[in-house]
Amino acid sequence: MAPIVSVSNLSKTYASGFEALKGVSLDIEEGEILALLGPNGAGKTTLISIICGIVNPSGGEVTVNGYDVVREFRETRAMIGLVPQELTTDAFETVWNTVSFSRGLHGRKPDPTHIEKVLKDLSLWDKKDNVLRELSGGMKRRVLIAKALSHEPRVLFLDEPTAGVDVSLRKSMWEVVERLRASGVTIILTTHYIEEAEEIADRIAVINGGEILLVEEKAALMTKLGRKQLRVDLAQPIEEVPQTLLSYKLSLEENGQCLIYDYDTSAERTGITALLAALAEAGIRLRDISTRQSSLEDIFVEIVEAGQ
Ligand SMILES: Nc1ncnc2c1ncn2[C@@H]1O[C@H](COP(=O)(O)OP(=O)(O)OP(=O)(O)O)[C@@H](O)[C@H]1O
Ligand SMILES: [Mg+2]
């Protein structure tokens, strides 16, 4: 199946001369949730803005469902919904009008039933007659999401949708995202809450310095790069790691009370059995052992640091 969004060799140099994207290529499959992760200034918003037709590319090509985002702007715009990172709303317009008007802007006929459903899904129904300046920050963000959903897009971009949003609203927003996915909508999101990406995304792309460092199925990424840590609590503190154990590259922590052993879950041998035997041989008695699986956050930090 052809990808719904295809980005090829995309570059962007801003008027200031800053090169924000350096030859980015990325295919997004219909119906998937792709999380775009990267530190501040990585180029996430620039990439999304070009796909959505808000920023012009300096080079390369982007198509949405086969239509070019520059030459066939009208077609691509109708298919795309964008929840922008920056809050820009018309302070004196009502919630209902803002969201209904947005549908019209995307060339769709009025559909009050759909607008009502969107507002109810986002718990904005009781605010529909309020003007935007009367809403809280989190509610304004929900209005941006409602606007993006007003014209029933096939591809939805969420640029930091949960920044400044409280925990319960974040949960309900992700439920909306899940429902959209179930209805076949393709979703591309950026977030700095990596645990959210870990929970919701099918694939993860990591971008830094205007370059895609990695695109991978989340599950594969977790096992491929997933490391585990074995923590050994000692019955008695030790001053240094014994000579016979140097090959394990252990780190001695917590005033000599605890040894940490990093190992690779995909390695043929983790070395744990041999390590425990060597500890016994060295006369070190254990109080407890536990393991910890690295999270997507650890993996992310590792990739970004390795790329620098
Ligand atoms: N209009 C502009 N003119 C000049 N430089 C810009 C402009 N917009 C963005 N940049 C620069 O391009 C780089 C990428 O910015 P972008 O907003 O795409 O990053 P981001 O990954 O979305 O970061 P964040 O996580 O902070 O939202 C940054 O160094 C930024 O300063
Ligand atoms: Mg951004």
Q: Where are the domains of the chain?
A: 5-223, 226-294
Dump strand ranges (E) for the chain: 5-13, 19-28, 33-37, 59-64, 67-68, 80-83, 155-159, 186-190, 203-208, 211-217, 227-234, 251-253, 258-264, 286-293
Query: Which one is the CATH code of 5-223: 3.30.450.80, 2.30.29.30, 3.40.50.300, 3.30.530.20?
Result: 3.40.50.300
Q: 104 to each of 98, 109, 152, how far by Cα in Å?
A: 10, 6, 12
Which pLDDT score, from 0 to 100, does residue 60 have? Answer: 97
CB atoms < 10 A from the CB of 249, how many?
11
Q: Note the pLDDT tens digit of each residue in 108-166.
A: 899 999 999 999 988 899 999 999 999 988 888 889 999 999 999 999 999 988 777 77
**Residue 174: what pLDDT?**
85
Q: Ligand 1: does its nearest atom lie under 6 Å from the Cβ of 40?
A: yes
Strands 59-64 and 5-13: antiparallel
Q: How confident is the model at residue 260 (pLDDT cuts 50, 70, 90)?
A: very high
Give the model confidence (pLDDT) of 33-55 as tens digits: 999 998 889 999 999 999 999 99
List the structure tokens of 135. Answer: 């809403």
* Pocket of ligand 1 contains residue 43 by CB under 6 Å: yes
Is 84 a pocket residue for ligand 1 (Cβ < 6 Å)? no
- 38 close to ligand 1 (CB < 6 Angstrom): yes
Cα 145 to ligand 2 centroid, rounded to whole Å = 16
pLDDT of residue 20: 97
Higher pLDDT, 243 or 168: 243
pLDDT for residue 72 is more than 90: yes
What band does 232 get if pLDDT is binned at 50, 70 and 90? very high
pLDDT band at 103 (very low <50, low <70, confident <90, very high): very high
- Closest Cα partner for 51 from 19, 26, 85? 26
- Reduced to 3 states (helix: H, G, I; strand: E, B; else coil), residue 291 is strand
Same fold, 5-223 and 226-294: no
Q: In this model, does residue 64 exceed pLDDT 90?
A: yes
For the segment 17-25, the average pLDDT, to the nearest whole number, is: 96
Side chain identity, residue 31 = G
Nearest ligand, CA of residue 83? 2
Give the ligand 1 atom nearest the CA of 18. 5
Read off the pLDDT band of 233 (50, 70, 90). Answer: very high
Cα–Cα distance between 126 and 234 in angstroms, integer? 58
Contact 195, 187 (CB under 8 A): no
Q: Indicate the fold that domain 226-294 takes in CATH.
A: Alpha-Beta Plaits (3.30.70)
The whole-number pLDDT of residue 220 equals 81
Q: Measured from the CB, is residue 4 less than 6 Å from ligand 1?
A: no
User: Distance (Å, rounded) from C-alpha 129 to C-alpha 185?
Assistant: 29
Contact criterion met (CB below 8 Å) for 44 and 36: yes
- Closest ligand to residue 24's CA: 1
Query: Rounded to an integer, what distance in angstroms lies between the CA atom of residue 255 and that of residue 234?
Result: 11
Give 237's pLDDT tier (boundaries 50, 70, 90).
Answer: very high
Q: What is the DSSP letter of 264?
A: E
Residue type, 209: G
Q: What percent of the chain is predicted at pLDDT more than 70?
A: 98
Least confident of 17-21, 104-108, 179-183, 265-269: 265-269
Is residue 86 lining ligand 1, measured as CB closer than 6 Å?
Answer: no
- What pLDDT is attached to residue 248? 86
pLDDT score, position 224:
66
Q: How far is the CA of 246 from the centre of ligand 2 (A)?
A: 44
Residues 242 and 262: their CA atoms lie apart, in Å, by 17
